[in-house]
Structures are given as structure tokens and as C-alpha cells.
A = this chain, B = another copy of it.
Amino acid sequence: MVREFDLIGRYFSREVPEGYIGAGDDCAVLPEQPGRQWVVSTDALIEGRHFLSDVDPYTLGHKSLAVNLSDLAAMGATPAGCVLALALPEIDENWLSKFSDGFYLLADQHSCPLVGGDTTGTGHGIMICVTVFGHITPGTALLRSGAKNGDDIWITGSLGAAHIALKLLQGALPANDALLADTRAALERPRPPVMYAAQLPGLAHAALDISDGFLQDLGHILKASKCGAHIIFDNLPVDPAIRNLPNELMQEAVLSGGDVYQLCFTAPQRHRNAIETLARQFSTMVSRVGVITEGNELVVETLSGRRLMPSQLGYQHF
């Protein structure tokens, strides 16, 4: 098997930037980042659970890294590198070539070089495990526990499209090619706001990504920060592609749909201008959707004062 897996390795041994030592030794070596602190995250993607077996390998390569970059963004960290473990049931050079192209393009865009990895055969399905490293100014990582009473609640990007695309691909909604075309990129080619997020330490109090759905993930901030929240539904950034769907389906997608590799963060009101100015600077869409409150209640209301029941929308109260 050694020679076959040398072959796999060929697709993942592009040159690393100066200051790095990449594949070829027992470990990769990262460049010094004086005065910075390292952060790390790992995510596994399993065939049949996190992606469909017939997914385009190019988009799979992109997404494997994107879901990890999203974790760095949620801490306000700057990417510094990644490693990839890949277990494959068979050698398919076309698949490998496309997967690595998708992976490397996103890695290059974020100066997050692939510095090492492990490739192996498996009698089972495809498993992909990516670990990313980033750095931050010591003590400034955006934690879930930092939200303060009175903070604004912000969201980057838009909500709901990935959920609808997944339902369409799974056949849980009637086939609709136009709707799939409009929503699919949100599911398969997420673009976490990494560069914008690296500017948020010092402005934001708490952050996380919305990979489990907005209400579910906001709940993590509320629990860790021991506070509540008041959300104005009309202010939520509904993806334009799903605005005309039946109301209940649209609400479910927006409030509970997962796979959103965008951020929810909280920040004091005095930083509103800075947050919006930076957003324009980094071409990132941001929406102010609510406010952190005392207590531990999560309220979602429309502008007309109608209260939505999160309990009916997939939200598990803590």
C-alpha cells in the first residue's frame, strides 16, 4: 500500500511558504508569531453523515477547510496553517485532484497553508479530518462566555439557504432546480468571514459560528454568559433565495437551519459604527438582530410584537 499512498500524498504536498517546514518530516514546523497566542480546532467529515457520497469533490475539498476556518473566525483568530487526515476506500486520481484543488484554493485565499497530513486506505467510507491553527493577541480570543447585558447581537452573512439546499438534496422537499441552484453554494461552498472576524477582538464580547443553527448556537452563548436575548425576527438576514418560501418552512430554515458558517457575535452599543465600517471595508454583510438581556430567556418577536415560540422551532432550552 505504501506506493499507492505515496500517490495520494502527491496531491497534498504543494510547497509551503517561507518560515514553514511542511510534509516530509514527522511534524510540520510553524513560523514563530512573537507576542501571539495559538488557537486550534479539529473537525471530522464523514461520508453519508456530513456529505453525500456523490458530492462534487472540488466543493468537498473547499468545505472541509471552510468549516474549520469558520471555527478560527469565531475566535477572532488569524489562520496560520492546517493539517489534513484523509481515509479513502479507493484511489481515484480524478477525485483526489479535484478535492485537493478545492482545498488548496481556499487555503491560499486565507494564507492557511496545508503543512502536513496523513493519508490512508480504509475498508469503510471516506473520512476527512482537518485541524487548523491560528493566532491571536493573548487574552483577546472571542469566547462564548463574554456576552454582557445590553450587548447588541450581530450576524454575518445570511441565514437559511444551506438548510433548504440540504432538504432539496435529501428529497425532503419537492425537487426545485431553480431553488437548488440559488441555495446550493451556501451549503457546499461556505465562505466564513475570516478576515473580518480577525478584526473583532477588542470590539466584540462573544462569538461563535452558526453551524448548529442560529437559535441553538445563540443558546450556547446565553448559557455560557448566563444571560438572555431578545431577537427581532424581521431583522434577521433571511437569504434572498428563500424569502418567498412558505412562512413556516422559511422560519425553520432561518432560526434552526444548520451548516451556516457565519458568525453570531455580541458587542457593546458604542462599537456599532466601528463594526459596520469594518464590515464595509471587508465586504462582509452584518445585521444587528437583537440585544442581550438579563435573566436567561430567549425571546424571538416580530416587529409587530408577535412572539415566536422557539420551543416549536427545534430550539432545546437549557
Distance between A84 CB and nearest chain B CB, rounded to angstroms:
7
Report the interface size for chain A: residues with CB under 8 A from the other chain: 63
Contact of A27 among B21, B72, B81, B121 (CB under 8 A): B72
- A123 partner residues in chain B, CB cutoff 8 A: 46, 48-49, 125
A74 touches B26 (CB 8 A): yes
Distance between A56 CB and nearest chain B CB, rounded to angstroms:
21
- A117 partner residues in chain B, CB cutoff 8 A: 42
Contact of A21 among B29, B143, B208, B316 (CB under 8 A): B143
B124 touches A42 (CB 8 A): no
Q: Which one of A130-138, A161-169, A239-247 is at the B interface?
A: A130-138
Complex interface bits, A127-159 against B, C-beta within 8 A gives 1, otherwise 0: 101010110101001011000000000000000
Q: Copies per complex? A: 2
* A-B CB contact pairs (8 Å), 20 listed: A2-B212, A2-B316, A24-B224, A25-B74, A27-B40, A27-B72, A27-B74, A27-B75, A29-B39, A30-B39, A40-B83, A43-B118, A44-B120, A46-B124, A49-B121, A85-B129, A85-B131, A122-B127, A123-B125, A131-B131
- A75 partner residues in chain B, CB cutoff 8 A: 25-27, 29
Per the bound structure, the CA–CA distance linking A43 and B127 in Å amounts to: 13
Per the bound structure, the CA–CA distance linking A29 and B139 in Å amounts to: 9
B44 touches A129 (CB 8 A): yes
- A136 partner residues in chain B, CB cutoff 8 A: 29
The verdict on A198 contacting chain B, using a C-beta distance below 8 Å, is no
Given A26-B209, A27-B71, A83-B42, also A124-B32 (CB < 8 A): no
Given A38-B30, A41-B26, also A122-B125 (CB < 8 A): yes
A208 touches B46 (CB 8 A): no
Per the bound structure, the CA–CA distance linking A45 and B163 in Å amounts to: 32
Per the bound structure, the CA–CA distance linking A166 and B81 in Å amounts to: 36
A75, A124, A133 pick with most chain B CB within 10 angstroms: A124
Per the bound structure, the CA–CA distance linking A179 and B118 in Å amounts to: 32
The verdict on A107 contacting chain B, using a C-beta distance below 8 Å, is no
Distance between A6 CB and nearest chain B CB, rounded to angstroms:
10
The verdict on A47 contacting chain B, using a C-beta distance below 8 Å, is yes
